[in-house]
Amino acid sequence: MTLVLFLLLVAPGLLFDLLASSRRVGASESAFREISRVALGSLGFSIIGLAAVTVLHLRWGRAFVALDRAVTDKQYLTSQLRHVVVTALVATGIAMLAAWVLDLILKSPHDTPNLTSRSLWVQTFRKDQPEGTYTALWVKLTSGPRFIGQVRGYTADSEVADREIILVPPLYMELPGHPELIPLADRGWQRVVIPSHAIEMIGVRYPRKPAKNASAPAPDPDPDPGS
C-alpha cells in the first residue's frame, strides 16, 4: 500500500519535473524548493487521476472503489483492498499520462536547443560525437600555449574551476609566435592534463577514426578556430 501511495502522490510530479528539466535552466535550488515543486505538481496531476477514476467508478462500479466511501468508511476500504490497489494504479497511470501530455503542450513546436543546467562538456565531447569518429580538441591556454590532442577523459561533475581534461596522442603543442606544431608523443609525452581554470578557449573536431594499425593524421598546421 505504501508503494501504491508513493506512485499516486509522488511519481506524477517526479515524471513531470524530469521531463521539464530540458526546458528549465537556472541556479541550483534548495532541497525544500525542489520537493515543494514536485509535491505541488503531483497534487495537481493526482487530482486529475482521481477525478478520472471517479468517472470510471460511475461507469464500472465494481472495478473501482467509491472515493467518497473510501474516505469516510475505513471498513469499506479494508474490505475492498484489491479494488483500492486497482483504483490507485489506474489513477496513477492517468496522472502520469496527464503530466506527459502537459509537457508536450508546453514544449515549443520549433526545433529549439536542449537547455540544461548540466555540463556541456558531456554534450560536446561525447553525445555530439558522430559514429566512427573520435573527439579531438584544440585547447588554448590563458598563458598562450595551445595543445591539440584526442580526448582521453575529463571531469564534468565538478565546479568549472575544478575540472580537468586529459589529452592523448595524436598530441601536439604550439607555442606563441611559433606556428609549427611540436609532436609531444615523439618526445615521450603520452598524456597532458589541463585544468579548466587555465583554459581560454576550446575548439572541437570529430576526425574519422584511422583504419586499424594506421596512425592518426597530423592536424592542420593552423588549427586556430579564430583564424
pTM confidence score: 0.49
Q: Is the CB of residue 45 less than 8 Å from the CB of residue 98?
A: yes
Residues 89, 151 within the same domain = no
pLDDT less than 50: residues of the chain:
111
Examine the domain organization and report whether 166 and 72 are in the same domain.
no
In a domain, 100, yes or no: yes
Q: How many domains does the chain have?
A: 2
Whether 101 is covered by a domain: the verdict is yes
Angle, helices 31-59/11-20, rounded to nearest 10 degrees = 120
Judge whether 7 and 99 are in contact, CB under 8 Å.
Answer: no
Residues 151 and 69 in one domain: no
Cα-trace Rg, the chain: 28
Do 13 and 90 share a structural domain?
A: yes
Angstrom distance (rounded) from CA 174 to CA 102: 52
How confident is the model at residue 134, as a pLDDT? Answer: 93
What DSSP state is assigned to residue 61?
T
- In-domain check, residue 115: no
Q: What is the DSSP letter of 85?
A: H
Tell me the CATH number at 138: 2.30.30.100
Kindly state whether residue 213 falls inside one of the protein's structural domains. no
Q: pLDDT value at position 184?
A: 94
Looking at the structure, tell me whether residues 180 and 100 fall in a common domain: no
Q: Are residues 134 and 99 in the same domain?
A: no
- Report yes or no on 114 lying in a domain: no
Give pLDDT, residue 105.
83
Alpha-carbon distance of 218 to 212, in angstroms, equals: 16
Residue 225 lies in a domain: no
Co-location of 71 and 153 in the same domain: no
Taking each helix axis as running N to C, give the angle between helix 81-106 and helix 2-9, from 0 to 180 degrees, rounded to the nearest 10. 20
Q: What cell numbers appear for 18 in the block? A: 524530469
| Residue 205 pLDDT | 93
pLDDT at 118: 58
For the chain, the farthest-separated pair of C-alpha atoms sits apart, in whole angstroms, at 87
Query: Is residue 80 one of the residues assigned to a domain?
Result: yes
Residue 111 placed within a domain? no
* DSSP-derived secondary structure letter, 166: E
Question: pLDDT, tens digit, for every residue of 140-164?
Answer: 999 999 999 999 998 876 676 778 9
Q: Do 132 and 102 share a domain, yes or no? A: no
Q: Show the domain range for 191.
A: 120-205
Provide long-range contacts, Cβ within 8 A and 24+ apart, for 148-153.
148/172, 148/173, 148/174, 148/181, 148/219, 148/223, 149/184, 149/192, 150/216, 151/125, 152/191
Closest CA to 192 of 174, 215, 169: 169
Burial annotation 85-96 (CB, 10 A radius, 16+ → b, else e): ebbbebbbbbbb
Paired residues of 195 in beta bridges: 164
- Residue 1, pLDDT score: 53
pLDDT exceeding 70 applies to what percent of the chain? 74
**Domain shared by 77 and 124, yes or no:** no
Give yes or no: residues 96 and 13 share one domain: yes
- 83 with 60, same domain? yes
DSSP 127: I
> Are residues 71 and 136 both part of a single domain?
no
